[in-house]
Structure 1
Amino acid sequence: MARNRGHGLLVRLLAGSVLVAICSITATAWLAATSTSGTIRQEQGETLASDARINDELLGYAATHRTWDGVAPLVRELARGTGRRIALTTEPRRVIADSAEPGSPLPARPSAVVDPLAVDVTLVPSAAADRIDRRATGPFTLTAAERARSRAAAGRVVACARERYGVAGRVTVAPGGRASAVLSPVPAATPSAPAGDPRAAPTPMPAPPGTPGELPLGVEEACGADELREPVATERRALRELQTRVTACLRRSGLSPVILRPDLTWTARPSRTPATERQVAACLAEERRAQLRPYVAPPAVLFIGTPEQAAGLELGPGGTLRITGAAALVLVLAVGVSALIATRLTRPVHALTGAVRRMREGDATARVDVRDRGEIGQLAAAFNEMAEHLDRMERQRREMVSDVSHELRTPISNVRGWLEAAQDGVAELDRELVASLVEETLLLQHIVDDLQELALADAGKLRLHPEPVAVADLLDQVATVHRGRAAAAGLTLLTEAPGDPVLLADPVRLRQAVGNLVVNALRHTGPGGRVTLRARATPSGVDIEVADTGTGIAPEHLPHVFDRFWRADKSRSRRTGGSGLGLAIVRHLAELHGGRASVTSVPGAGATFTLSLPHAPPGHAPVTARP
């Protein structure tokens, strides 16, 4: 561990410095070998990017205009912005628009064919499968009035979601003019009131209920978002026309028609000759092109000239440019390596900071995934261990609250039920009923006392008052107290303490712990059985055992016997099963003395509970002789 602390960050910083030095020494050779190819790749990339931009702009124009009339200003603007010559011609090479001087010869090879109904996928890799530009809407384009109504309806949905559910949203408009409401589960910001307004400083809107990352249930239906998806009159007419075209296309191939939806998906009709998806898609694409063709510009051939080479690319006398480039590269490499090292050092710190903030905001699952093996990795591991501990403590707290409410509910319900019955005259408040109510009250008092003991132990306020204790005498006292109960149950209660061991302990707390073990043993041992209290000296202290010949404990239940409110038989009533806290108190008392509580058992042959105690509690000197 110390080795990691001494070399983790230091080695990284030294390695970064050495790497910068190596890069500085080899920078000139590297620059000479790669500058040319790098320049070529950069120019190719820029050329492809500008070609794609030019093609996209012209596709957008063609998709929204019936002819190429008026495209010349756009061609000139694109030429100025990209530094390229742009010429647009018909297929017979008649010039439609050209950024060069009139009469200039066209480039030898065309760059693309601009057709919004057959997009070139090499320039537009994200094109749809039917290669129809999404901006080509044709008869599906909404009128001005329909656009206004659609946008107003989408605005109402966004406002409803924000005001009623605290859900943020925005209005988006599709190429055809249809508006839609995009809702997000992120709570909308509370609007601030004007200065002097009595509504100033409003109460922040609570976060919407539901799973993080999902919309609250029913928000879209309540705010009318479904109505936005209904086609308007213009779209319905265009959809009916397209439906007729597709149906005719399928029937020409001897196939059954399908039902088109507004989003241009389809549902097959039951038929003996159903069409495959590929056949339907082919008919749909063919008929969409036929329907849209009158609304878009005809196909045009695009010529894009190569950019002019800058005169400053040549090296000057004496290799000044080469030296300057090498120096700049060394500087960039030095800064890049430093930034890389800083990023690798700060990334896990940022991750740790984010996890701490999430935990502060109540996210108990916040953890840090850091694979670093140095100091920061150790810090992250320590944080994760702390987070696991806090999460475990919180779960235990919630389980404790749930168990307490469950354990108190039954006796309180019994007392209340009988008292209400007596009040209503249904039950007579006789001696037996009073005795039953007293018994339930004593059970409540027993649970509350046990809870108080555990609360003091958890808070570290349960104090010991140690003194020399003769363990044999203590076992005799406990046996005397419980011998009457054992005899009434037909059990034999024995004590064994060879060697008369002595230890320094709190006699009251120790009797309480042993008494709890005896009560537990008597409860789980049938008539004719035997409960034995033993004490024997060990090199480290004294072991006190309570062994019974009862039903025993199943192996899978042994790890849980000291848990609060745990019982192997869930059907047993609390009246016969105890408060469920006695063994938990035993464990706390043993640990408070610096020892531990354990159990061994053979199902059907009984169980043995052992208190392994040191000669003295922590911070006290042990005793060596009986007082």
Structure 2
Amino acid sequence: MSRRFPSSLVVRLLALSVLVSVCSIAATAWLAVRTTTRAIRQEQGQAISEDARIYEALLGRAATHTDWRGVQPLVDRLARETGHRVVLTTQDRRPIADSADAAGAGHRTPLPDRASATVDPLAVDAGVSRTRSDDRIDSRAAGPFRLTRAERTRLTALAQRRVTCLRSLGLPAAVTTAPGGRPHVDSPGYTGDRCADEVLDRPTRSESRALARLDALVDACLGRRGSGPVQLALDLTWRATATRDPVNEALVSSCLDSARREQLAPYVAPAALLFIGSPDNAAAASPFDLSAPNRLRMAGVVGSVLLLTVAVTTGLGLQLVRPLRALTAAAQRVKAGDVAARVQVTGRDEIGRLAEVFNEMSQQRARLERLRTEMVGDIAHELRTPLSNIRGWLEAADDGVVPADGALVGSLLEEALLLQHIVDDLQDLAASDAGALRLHKVPCDVGELLQQVATAHGGRADHAGVALSVDIADGIGSVVADPVRLRQAVANLVSNAVRHTPPGGAVTVTARREDDAVVIAVADTGGGIRPEELPRVFDRFWRAEKSRSRSTGGSGLGLAIVRNLAHAHGGTVTAESSYGEGALFTLRLPGEGQGREQASSRRGAPRSGGV
């Protein structure tokens, strides 16, 4: 750099301002400190208590519900009672509920970078929660251990009968109910077994099923770590069922904690970020008891300090401090995970050049993060389908459903080769947006290719109760394409159709010629696609089913990959649907003659599409 960064000037300006300020207001600062310290401490204690109250209320809501729907009234009530702004968002900061919505606030203060707490009944924040537990699982998260109405009624009647018996003996007794609905009889100081009822102490059918499932999860965890099984009791105590080898208590506790979280996860709301704003009256001023002469002298000193500070620092300091603050704030956003953080370049000096370099660095980081995310998604999606096919055929052969003959081995070998080919090209797929995707086009028999896809997915379709058929028009001939990529595109369409077709439905793959083009269509009789969602079906990572459950869909990459592969072959893919009547996906590719011309004209040129 041609000029030295004037850091010493900033230091001198700040030192001068601090010296003048300290000398002029030191006499009054201690008065303000003494009169406000106690009030501040009381206010902080109240704020901590109110934060804990809000957190506990929302934590209880999450522990007893599977999602956050209907939480807005609770958020509004907590905001009214505490005077705070209460905001609940998902982990990626999408709003769930905001008390400012009910208040009708036109301008909302942006949320801070750091949340006040994370509301997760399976990972309770010990710094905010009033209760303490070693496993950090909220006691109100009963999940499958929650009793049915009939079980609660029956056990409550037994508990009341036991209380009546104890009271008849002159003993104090009362019924308390656990979060799962199980009643307990508390009799302080009494440890005998009179008035005992084995039915009351024995697990119910609901608890037995849940306990058996939890026991299986714990044993599976212990088995993976080389330990023997254990037997769990209803109070989550355990004993070893095998006496050959000692059981590691720490290992059992670890497996029990992880098994409980796995079992309870479907019964509680997903983790959410909690933001608690300052109360409306937070700016209330602390009282001062000063005499009139002191107030006049103080006003004169403070006025002089303000004039001197503004005159000295405003003209020389703001031009240096402002861009540095912007850079610091942007750097903190990057540190917090905001890859889109940028700063405005306002000059051509050293600070302006630093801002340009920062923007370039942030842009490059965002690009690398996007490529990494896309790579992970592509790997997860593209490896699943061939692996599932191989596993399905092997399980069928192992069960004796299909003979383990040469045809089966050949089909499995084809799937393994496809899998190996996908693995070898994963780097090319991740870099396809940069023009690195390579296609190896050769004449392909369309009928044979579609039959291979149907054979590969036949086992999965049969298992799902879906009829998979292929209808190839006479004289369909061949098409110039990359056989692996084309088969990948058709397989994605077939897999998507089978996944979204209910048992008893049908998926039909057809092929025909239209003019000089080959048209491959995949039709299903599933639930179809809503009209407003149809334009987005080919978007990367988009799915109509927002929970992204693996039982109802993949990662949202399959149709996006089909579109890019179609474009890479010089073709198109379209989607049509009547909601409730199924969907039709049409892949249109250039004919053999046109495909050869395109392959010749594009040989050696980088591919502009991406998968």
State the TM-score, normalized to the length of structure 2. 0.40
Flag the structure with larger Rg: 1
State the TM-score, normalized to the length of structure 1. 0.39
